[in-house]
Amino acid sequence: MTAAHEGIEEIRLAARRALTLGVSRDPMAVPAWLASGDERADLLSLVSALGLRNRFERPVAPEQLDTFDAGYDAARMPPSASRLILCRLFAPKKKLYEENTLAMRTLDLLAARGLHLHPFDYPALRRLMAGDESVLDEHARTWLSRERPSDDGGPSFGQIIQENWTEFPPAVREDYIRRLRSSDPDGARALCEEALANDAATVRRKVLGALAVRLGASDVPYLESFAEDRAKSVRAVASSLLARIPGTAAYAERIDQAHEQITVQSAGIIGRKKVLLPKIPKGLAASREAEWVAETFADVNPSELAQRLGLAPKKFAESLGPTYLRDTFLLNALQAGDLEMAALIGAQLDARDASLFLMNHESELAGLGEPQRHATWGCFTNAFRGRSLHDACAVVQHLYTALRVPPPDGAVDASALERSWGKWARDAVADPERVDGYVPRVLIAFSGRQDRADWRARMQILAPSLTTDAFAIADLFDAVEAHPLP
Amino acid sequence: MAASSPITLSRIETVAPDQASLKAARKLLNASKWPTMEHDAEMRLLWGACQGSGASAYSVTVEISDLGAKCSCPSRKFPCKHAIALMWWMAEQPERFSEGEIPQWVQDWQGRRRRTTPADAPKPSRAGKSAQAAAMAEPERPRDPEQARRQRERVRKARETSIRRGLEELDVWIGDQLDRGFGAFGPQASEQCRLMAQRLVDAKAGGIAAQVEALPALYFQTPEARRYDILLETLGALHLLAEAYRKQDELPDDLRAEVRTRVGWVMTREELLVSSDAPHVSATWTVCSTRSESQPDRLVRYETWLAARENGDLRTALLLDFVPASAASKSAPSLEPGARFEAELAYYPSATPLRAQIVTQGSVSAAPDMPSPPEDLPAALARYDDALTCNPWISQWPLACRDVHVARDGAGEHWVVSNDEEAAVPLAGDQASVLVGVKDVELVATFDGRWLTPLAANSALGPLWCTS
């Protein structure tokens, strides 16, 4: 620094004050070494010099740095080619219609093989990761929580586990118990037994309601212990749960009540056909009928009701009148594990009815135990083997979204869908602009490995615009499935 | 007849930059303003001459397949009203067009432009540029070469005079900001900068106009505590540029070229390729990153950042493409991060050459990693200072360093790139946080003097290629 520049810090400070207020109010003296006699030009030169001086300033290194080794395991990450496909399929600017379901399917496949997303792909796969955080590895969850803006300014709770679940807000606790019930019903109940007595009535009511998932005889003693609960709302939840467990007095009473609320009428030209109709209370608004039916017949086992009505299960299933009555008993059959009756009722649904049912009861179906979820695919076979392949694919998509288990082998195979595929493919070849890549993507994504190869061969006749993403999915899934199981 | 036209009004609406352009184009649907309107035998191209207010007619051409257009008028809008009007004529009265031989200037334009669609499209060139730049760089070609030379000289002199007048106005404007004080800048920033930028555009100093126009956005996205510094640095740099332009004859050739480019003189690809001042570099280039950004003038700016090892050093280059926002999804540059290829690049003359064009290019393959930087973070920062010393107007500058890691600063506010605590620079960008917890990273990033934004990285987990 020359002698002429010695006062540079003083000049900068004075300039800051003058330039902030305005030099017309706080005139700024230009140092002699810069002065040329033209005041205006000198002022501009000084601003240029100070601005340039600023640009040579670098951030000061912090005294303390929080450094750590994340300990990533490169062996548990997908191969480069698969990463590339993943990033293309879930690119931020791309939005596939069935993206959420595809994200779930992809994450499930990766998780099943013990593979983690590569951390360098997190920004590109943000939407994929948001599809289901529960199957992500710890690094991915940490990154997501770090990136998520905390809009409410509330506390951050981190990951919920058995040791800390009581510290979370009631809604989070309820969700945790609900999820735990689907994998470990007794474990979830044990957590409630330990902690619930000390909670407020609102919390007890919410969390107790989550035990509805995979309810069984082993829950009876615990639920009966709420008979003396000090809160009426909690007692009501406990007794409604008891009424869903066969063998209890409440259950028998519930069947009686349901029997009284349903009527069998003759229909058809010669009156041989039967129709089951709910006895809707007089004066009830039409818009509330579905809600009333759902409440009145909730948890009523359709096979037992059929027996009371003196109808064979098949006849019962075929006689269910309004859609909402049929949907209620289908759900009840699935929740009770009565898969025979569920299949009989499910056979009455066409693809669109099935899609609607699945969308409306996603959370209830998600609460079924894993074996039931696997078996549920079989109840909708008719719906996804209808005439419209597009509608059939929608059923497959909604089934996976709700059940989160893959279809059984052969459910989505080419021979089973031969007729609808033939029609769809003819239309697609004749006019590729009229269809999009949804059908090929779904067929490939939800087929087993062998069926996938079969579909791929059949899809060679289609325009590349329809199959590019589908084949990318096939490549990705083949690569992932080739990875050894953990 | 309109039914048989290959162009529909709805297509024209889609490409029009705004309603005002459509309205202005409608006024040009007067046959007396169009002495010629022609198409080629295959109905792929339209061209015509539109009589504007000037002495000579504007030359307009349109490619029917994607409605790409070119006009010799100085409008900043793309497509301009003349191009829209030509499309409109074809949509409504195609019988007014006669079949003709494709003129040379249309062939030249078509050869240069980046193709978006058909199978017969030639390999994309890197000649993308703003409509404004194109218009400035390629005036209509008169037939007599001597007359053309004299005309170009007249135009050049007039533009020099106009630019100098505009820069004087800029100095007055900067002085006004100093008088009022930076504290009063915010409330009127957008309007004031827009008006000043418009005056600079009128003065044909489009480059410096864009810097003035961008100032409010830069100001408002900067934390309040730093806004004084941003204004001081930007206004100071603008004045320095104006002063350098006035004294350009005293500058070394490369710095003079830098100053002229930043003020608004555009060197076309053709001029670059024949320029003796343009350094040519042949190397194996790796695409580190691509970035795109929508500009206020409805163009999308695509940046393709390249790096190559050269004599133990790391050389970087920036390819720039500008495409209309309406065609951006189809016209994105074809090079993707992680691509590697042999190529000869021609750098635009500059005190710190960075922007380049591909002269010749070999086949593209996938790069296993990013070229390794030879320096550590302190040395890379020192190199940035050297670049800033040579060229005080650099903004985002590529910086490459090895053996760094990303950590949280003590206050927990930022991620920083650190080199064993000797130096630490804050890290910005979407991809910054994925490097957290990764050891021994080799990083190439852009640096603005305070923040690093990653372009690419090497690590034990493999390469990271960034896009934004």
pLDDT at A46 over 90: yes
On chain B, the residues whose CB falls within 8 A of the CB of A44 are 171, 174-175, 178, 239, 243
Average pLDDT over residues B299-328: 89
A464 touches chain B (CB under 8 A): no
- CA dihedral of residues A83, A86, A88, A92 (deg, nearest 10): -110
Of the three residues A39, A55, A71, the one that is the final residue of a domain is: A55
Least CB-CB distance to A22: which of B179, B410, B412? B179
The label of the residue with tokens 């790096």 reads B307
Q: Give the separation between CA B203 and CA B197, rounded to whole angstroms.
A: 10
For residue A111, with 0-12 CB atoms within 10 Å meaning exposed, 13-18 middle and 19 or more buried, which class applies? middle
**pLDDT reported for residue B128:** 37
Confidence of residue B332 (pLDDT cuts 50, 70, 90): confident
Q: Two tokens at A215?
A: 């309810």
Whether A309 maps to a domain, the answer reads no
Residue A466 near residue A428 (C-beta atoms within 8 A): yes
Confidence of residue A368 (pLDDT cuts 50, 70, 90): confident
Test the A interface: residue of B172, B436, B447 with most A CBs within 10 Å? B436
Tell which B residues from 230 to 259 touch A, by Cβ distance under 8 Å.
231-237, 239-240, 243
Confidence of residue A217 (pLDDT cuts 50, 70, 90): confident
Q: Give the separation between CA A274 and CA A319, rounded to whole angstroms.
A: 6
Q: Give the separation between CA B115 and CA B133, rounded to whole angstroms.
A: 18
Confidence of residue A453 (pLDDT cuts 50, 70, 90): very high
Residues A128 and A229 in one domain: no
Q: Which of A401-405, A463-467, B16-20, B345-349 has the lowest mean pLDDT?
A: B16-20
Whether A262 maps to a domain, the answer reads no
* Among A235, A212, A216, A214, residue whose Cα is nearest residue A225: A235
pLDDT at A2 over 70: no
**pLDDT reported for residue B1:** 40
Confidence of residue A9 (pLDDT cuts 50, 70, 90): confident
Percent of chain B with pLDDT over 70: 90
**pLDDT reported for residue A158:** 56
Q: Give the separation between CA A65 and CA A458, rounded to whole angstroms.
A: 58
pLDDT at B141 over 60: no
CATH fold match for the domains B268-366 and B377-467: yes
Whether A466 maps to a domain, the answer reads yes
Q: What is the pLDDT of residues A282-306, one digit of tens each?
A: 998 988 988 899 888 888 889 999 9
Domain tally, chain A: 3
Question: Is B354 strand, coil or helix?
Answer: coil
Q: Give the separation between CA B323 and CA B334, rounded to whole angstroms.
A: 13
**H or E segment to which residue A96 belongs:** none
Q: Two tokens at B87?
A: 């499309």
Residue B401 near residue A47 (C-beta atoms within 8 A): no
Test the B interface: residue of A48, A53, A84, A148 with most B CBs within 10 Å? A48
**pLDDT reported for residue B113:** 65
Q: Which of A261-270, A437-446, B353-362, B392-401 has the lowest mean pLDDT?
A: A261-270
Report for A162-171, A332-341, B108-117: range of highest mean pLDDT: A332-341
Q: What is the pLDDT of residues A416-443, one digit of tens each?
A: 888 889 999 999 999 988 888 999 999 9
Instruction: Please tell me which residue, A71 or B453, carries the higher pLDDT value.
Output: B453
**pLDDT reported for residue B3:** 44
Q: Is the dihedral of CA B78, B84, B90, B92 positive or negative?
A: positive
Average pLDDT over residues A325-335: 92
pLDDT at B39 over 80: yes
- A63: nearest CA in chain B? B410
Least CB-CB distance to B410: which of A52, A62, A139? A62
CA A451 to mean position of chain CA atoms: 26
**pLDDT reported for residue A268:** 65
Percent of chain B with pLDDT over 90: 44
Q: Two tokens at A479?
A: 């690569």
From the options 1.10.287, 2.40.50, 1.10.3470, 1.10.1060, give the CATH code of B268-366: 2.40.50
Q: Give the separation between CA A54 and CA B232, rounded to whole angstroms.
A: 8
Tell which B residues from 162 to 191 touch A, by Cβ distance under 8 Å.
171, 174-175, 178-184
Residues A366 and A467 in one domain: yes
* Among A446, A439, A452, A443, residue whose Cα is nearest residue A478: A452
**pLDDT reported for residue A86:** 87
Q: Which domain holds residue A185?
A: 165-242
Residues A196 and A99 in one domain: no
Average pLDDT over residues B302-322: 92
Residues A123 and A174 in one domain: no
Least CB-CB distance to B181: which of A19, A43, A72? A19
Confidence of residue B111 (pLDDT cuts 50, 70, 90): confident
Residue A141 near residue A119 (C-beta atoms within 8 A): no
Residues A115 and A49 in one domain: no
pLDDT at B237 over 90: yes
DSSP state letters, A118-139: -GGGTTTTHHHHHT-GGGS-HH
Give the up-direction half-sphere exposure of residue B58: CA atoms within 13 A in the CB hemisphere.
24
Q: Which of A10-19, A112-121, B13-22 has the lowest mean pLDDT?
A: B13-22
Contact B392 A52 (CB under 8 A): yes
Residues A83 and A202 in one domain: no
Instruction: Please tell me which residue, B236 or A210, carries the higher pLDDT value.
Output: B236
Contact B181 A43 (CB under 8 A): no
| Nearest-neighbour CA in chain B from A118: distance (Å) | 8
Contact B232 A147 (CB under 8 A): no
Residue A395 near residue A358 (C-beta atoms within 8 A): yes
Mean residue pLDDT of chain B comes to: 85
**Cβ atoms within 10 Å, residue B121:** 11
End-to-end CA distance of chain A: 65
A146 touches chain B (CB under 8 A): yes
Residues A416 and A464 in one domain: yes
Q: Give the separation between CA A384 and CA A350, rounded to whole angstroms.
A: 8
- B419: nearest CA in chain A? A61
CA B235 to mean position of chain CA atoms: 22
Amino acid at the residue A29: A
pLDDT at A270 over 80: no
On chain B, the residues whose CB falls within 8 A of the CB of A145 are none
**pLDDT reported for residue B4:** 65
Q: Give the separation between CA B178 and CA A23, rounded to whole angstroms.
A: 6
**pLDDT reported for residue B134:** 39
Whether A334 maps to a domain, the answer reads no
**pLDDT reported for residue B466:** 86
Whether A86 maps to a domain, the answer reads yes
What's B405's DSSP letter?
A: E
Whether A459 maps to a domain, the answer reads yes
Q: What is the CATH number of domain B377-467?
A: 2.40.50
Q: What is the pLDDT of residues B180-201, one digit of tens each?
A: 999 989 888 999 999 999 999 8
Whether A400 maps to a domain, the answer reads yes
Q: Give the separation between CA B443 and CA B266, rounded to whole angstroms.
A: 32
Instruction: Please tell me which residue, A162 or B37, carries the higher pLDDT value.
Output: B37
B375 touches chain A (CB under 8 A): no
pLDDT at B315 over 70: yes
**pLDDT reported for residue A146:** 77
Q: Give the separation between CA A480 and CA A82, rounded to whole angstroms.
A: 8
The label of the residue with tokens 């920083």 reads B416
Q: Give the separation between CA A94 and CA A222, rounded to whole angstroms.
A: 50
**Cβ atoms within 10 Å, residue A93:** 5
DSSP state letters, A171-237: HHHHHHHHHHHHH-HHHHHHHHHHHGGGS-HHHHHHHHHGGGTT--GGGHHHHHGGGG-S-HHHHHH
* Among B406, B338, B429, residue whose Cα is nearest residue A80: B338
Residues A461 and A370 in one domain: yes
Residues A387 and A475 in one domain: yes
Average pLDDT over residues A245-251: 85
- A19: nearest CA in chain B? B181
Residues A179 and A236 in one domain: yes
CA A422-A428-A433 angle, 5° bins: 165
Test the A interface: residue of B171, B461, B467 with most A CBs within 10 Å? B461
**pLDDT reported for residue A3:** 45
B316 touches chain A (CB under 8 A): no
Confidence of residue B132 (pLDDT cuts 50, 70, 90): very low
DSSP state letters, B159-223: HHHHHHHHHHHHHHHHHHHHHH-GGGHHHHHHHHHHHHHHHHHHTT-HHHHHHHHHHHHHHHTS-
Confidence of residue B117 (pLDDT cuts 50, 70, 90): very low
Contact B433 A21 (CB under 8 A): no
| ipTM of the complex in this document | 0.70
pLDDT at B455 over 90: yes
Taking only Cα atoms into account, the Rg of chain A, rounded to an integer number of angstroms, comes to 32
Least CB-CB distance to A118: which of B410, B412, B461? B461
**pLDDT reported for residue A306:** 93
pLDDT at B145 over 90: no
Residues A467 and A367 in one domain: yes
Q: Give the separation between CA A243 and CA B369, rounded to whole angstroms.
A: 64
Instruction: Please tell me which residue, B360 or A124, carries the higher pLDDT value.
Output: B360
Residues A486 and A444 in one domain: yes
- What lies within 8 Å, CB to CB, of B417 at 6+ separation is B377, B401, B404, B405, B406, B424, B425, B426, B427, B443, B445, B452
Tell which A residues from 31 to 50 touch B, by Cβ distance under 8 Å.
40, 43-45, 47-50
Contact A51 B235 (CB under 8 A): yes
Cβ–Cβ pairs < 8 A, chains A and B: 151
Helices and strands of chain B, counted as H and E runs: 13, 16
Tell which A residues from 88 to 127 touch B, by Cβ distance under 8 Å.
118-120, 122-124
On chain B, the residues whose CB falls within 8 A of the CB of A122 are 433-434
Domain boundaries, chain B: 2-113, 146-262, 268-366, 377-467
The label of the residue with tokens 């300990």 reads A71
What's A25's DSSP letter?
A: T
CA B132-B133-B134 angle, 5° bins: 90
- B459: nearest CA in chain A? A120
Whether A225 maps to a domain, the answer reads yes
